[in-house]
Amino acid sequence: MPTPSRNQADRISELRNLLNKANHAYYILDTPLIEDAVFDRLYRELLELEKQNPSLITLDSPSQRLGGRPSKGFQSVKHRIPLQSLDNAFNITELNDWYSRIDKLHANNSQLVCELKIDGNAVALSYINGFLQTGATRGDGTEGEEITPNVKTIASIPLSLHLKNPPPWLEVRGEAFIPNSTFQQINALRLKEGKQIFANPRNACSGTLRQLDPRVVAARRLDFFAYTIHLPEDWEPEETEPSKPKGQWEALQWLKTAGFKVNPNTQLMNDIKAVTAFCSEWESNRHNMPYATDGVVVKIENFKIQNYVGTTNKAPRWAIALKYPAEEAPTILKKLTFQVGRTGAITPVAEFKPISLAGTLVSRATLHNAKRIADLDIHSGDTIVIRKAGEIIPEVVRVIKDLRPEETNKLFLPENCPECNSKLIQEATEAITKCTNHHCPAILRGALRHWVSKGAMNIDGFGSKLIEQLVKKNLVKSIADLYKLNKKSITNLERMGEKSGEKLLIAIKNSKNQPWHKQLYALGILHIGEANAKAIAKVFPSASKLDFSLKNSPESISKIFGIGEEILDSLQNWFNTASNQQLIINLQKEGISFASNQQEDSLEINQVTRISGDMIVITGTLESLSREQAKDMIESAGGKVTNSVSSKTTFLVAGKKSGSKYKKAQELGVKIINEKELMNLLKS
């Protein structure tokens, strides 16, 4: 057996201590320390390390217990039938591996039942002669907390079975949960009362079930889905009653007959292929549900085959929970790197051990600025928690300091530019640290990438590698130099043949005909996006007229919808910089007009349409319009298209396969319209 490395031994010790501490905080103190998804990832890391180093497994390792101890705030009750946890699969491959193991046990001829995994709290219900006797939490799986008065406040749990001749005893397992709308109301009230809000519906449900006052529980309107039954082996129902279930699917139907609420999205499947399709469908549809789900539970349907397959000491072999990709996950920081943007802003980037997050593999996340580094108190080798902001952009949420290595260094932003070694500065009014050297290669590369981008001058064939070569070989020292390139200067570059060189030169030449608003956007002025550039270009038909107004009547610019003090200051600073004025002159010499190509009158500043001033978000796939077309039409009518839903959003335009934005709009009470309704607004 190989000797464990010191790093592995230390990591196992750190993980064991943190997970035990988290278990105690959750089960005993009722104050969750880390999110379930983060706990799951750290727990799996511990299992993997212990598998590699079995000599390091200790009696107090979290891997050696089923669950946490029941809280001392309630009386303990022993479960008639133990509540085992389920093993987890975190992707389709692991789900197929589970099914392959079932296949080896010759149990693959059984049908499978798929049930949505409700993100709530497991509850055990015990009925004697048809009447609810006790309700209890999972606890350690053998004993739980007796919460019968609280359980009785849940309207979807029957106090007596809807059967004429009930069994002498019945054990029902299910999930108590708080619907999303109720959760929002609870947090709004707590915020109003100055109390700490709940992190998510699951934590709110857990805290509610452990309330000593049932009136508080009743006010929070918990709900319940039943999913498992246990009956006496020797009991047989009367002929007039439903027959005794022989499998999971029949058990769910029996539960409905007995008066329980069963999740309507449960399905009976014939093979694993149908199961994977079900799981894929619900991974995207789950955001439209009125309650939180975090996966799909897959079970062998037939009870006899379940018994044949058996269980481990912690979980049944005949069932598995496919967990949705985590929205947050822990990983280990490898190093900090620092990027220089086109405005000179220095952005720290955390590079970490790759992790799967919301369906994709990520290994880098921005830390924004020096203040964010300080707030996180980040050190080399830290275990950090990563989240996908808006399910798209990875970001560092926090540091798990309990897992910090002993020999580690605190990390800071550098004092000098990592590209040109110039002294970095931080403006008193800004959080951003900048390189102010206008000749910095990184700033030039960023400006060039922006200039040639699709939303700007749209010069096809200009990739980052080509730009790096042009800057490195001093062929391009400013944006204007792009228009001085010739066949001889570019055909000697890597991956640039004669034909591709000709195409590139044609694309550069054609870019001179881009409309004025794209030219303005291409300059890369801070805070000037595509929408703002369009709005400004409609009012000021040339760069010279814009410059004149900035110097003589800035109030005429601030009247444009969406242009505030920050944008006005940015425009004035840019046009007052001599090097920027020279850039415009040089580009005009190369044929860039910086003026409207049309002779039509500019729009009046105060022109009003039905959607003037409206903040609009588009989600999903539209039938007759692309996102870009819809955006252009909305902005032409005076509206503004934003990427995220907030309380300031006027409309959400929802197409097919709408995701989390649709759900957030519902929660915030934002009006949701379809494509046809949008077109009616635009036509009017």
Tokens coding 265:
């999205």
Predicted confidence at residue 61, as pLDDT, reads: 82
Distances (CA, A) of 268 to 113, 272, 298: 5, 11, 10
Average pLDDT of the chain, as a whole number: 86
* DSSP code for 163: -
Min mean pLDDT across 153-157, 240-244, 627-631 is at 627-631
CA separation for the pair 217, 151 (Å, rounded): 9
Distances (CA, A) of 585 to 376, 518, 540: 45, 17, 18
Per-residue pLDDT for 472 more than 50? yes
Q: Out of 51, 117, 454, 509, which one is annotated catalytic?
A: 117
CATH topology of domain 6-64: Helix Hairpins (1.10.287)
Predicted confidence at residue 505, as pLDDT, reads: 92
Per-residue pLDDT for 414 more than 50? yes
CA separation for the pair 565, 571 (Å, rounded): 10
Min mean pLDDT across 284-288, 294-298, 343-347, 541-545 is at 284-288
Kindly give, in sequence order, each residue whose CB lies less than 8 Å from that of residue 39, ignoring residues fewer than 6 positions away. 19, 22
Per-residue pLDDT for 650 more than 80? yes
Predicted confidence at residue 274, as pLDDT, reads: 94
Percent pLDDT > 90 in the chain is 42
| CATH number, domain 615-683 | 3.40.50.10190
Predicted confidence at residue 72, as pLDDT, reads: 54
Confidence of residue 458 (pLDDT cuts 50, 70, 90): very high
Which of 579-588, 638-647, 657-666 reaches the highest mean pLDDT?
Answer: 579-588
Per-residue pLDDT for 429 more than 80? no
Predicted confidence at residue 66, as pLDDT, reads: 45
Q: Is 117 a catalytic residue?
A: yes
Confidence of residue 391 (pLDDT cuts 50, 70, 90): low
Please, what's the b/e burial string for 295-330 (b: 16 or more CB within 10 A of its CB; e: otherwise)?
bbbbbbbbbebbeebeeeeebbbbbbbbbbbbbbbb
The top-level CATH class assigned to 76-323 is alpha beta
Please provide residue 103's backbone torsions phi and psi, each rounded to the nearest 5 degrees. Answer: -60, -40
Per-residue pLDDT for 359 more than 80? no
Kindly give, in sequence order, each residue whose CB lies less than 8 Å from that of residue 240, ignoring residues fewer than 6 positions away. 164, 165
Predicted confidence at residue 311, as pLDDT, reads: 86
pLDDT tens, residue by residue, 517-565: 999 999 999 889 888 898 899 889 999 999 999 988 888 888 886 688 8
CATH topology of domain 441-589: DNA polymerase; domain 1 (1.10.150)
Which of 215-219, 496-500, 521-525 reaches the highest mean pLDDT?
Answer: 521-525
Name the residue with tokens 């060039």. Answer: 448
Please provide residue 373's backbone torsions phi and psi, each rounded to the nearest 5 degrees. Answer: -60, -45
Per-residue pLDDT for 490 more than 90? no
Confidence of residue 122 (pLDDT cuts 50, 70, 90): very high
Beta pairing, strands 383-389 & 328-340: antiparallel
- In this structure, how many other beta carbons lie within 10 angstroms of the beta carbon of residue 83? 22
Predicted confidence at residue 607, as pLDDT, reads: 42
CATH topology of domain 328-433: OB fold (Dihydrolipoamide Acetyltransferase, E2P) (2.40.50)
pLDDT tens, residue by residue, 16-38: 889 888 876 765 555 677 877 78
pLDDT tens, residue by residue, 56-109: 888 778 876 544 444 456 788 999 998 888 988 988 999 999 998 887 776 556
Predicted confidence at residue 199, as pLDDT, reads: 72
Mean pLDDT of 463-471: 91
* DSSP code for 646: -
Domains 6-64 and 615-683 share a fold: no
The secondary structure element, H or E, covering residue 296 is: strand 293-300
Tokens coding 307:
């018994």
Predicted confidence at residue 362, as pLDDT, reads: 87
Domain residues of the chain, as ranges? 6-64, 76-323, 328-433, 441-589, 615-683
Min mean pLDDT across 370-384, 400-414, 491-505 is at 491-505
* DSSP code for 416: B
Name the residue with tokens 């889905």. Answer: 225
Percent pLDDT > 70 in the chain is 92
The secondary structure element, H or E, covering residue 323 is: strand 319-323
Per-residue pLDDT for 599 more than 50? no
Name which residue leads in pLDDT, 614 or 480.
480
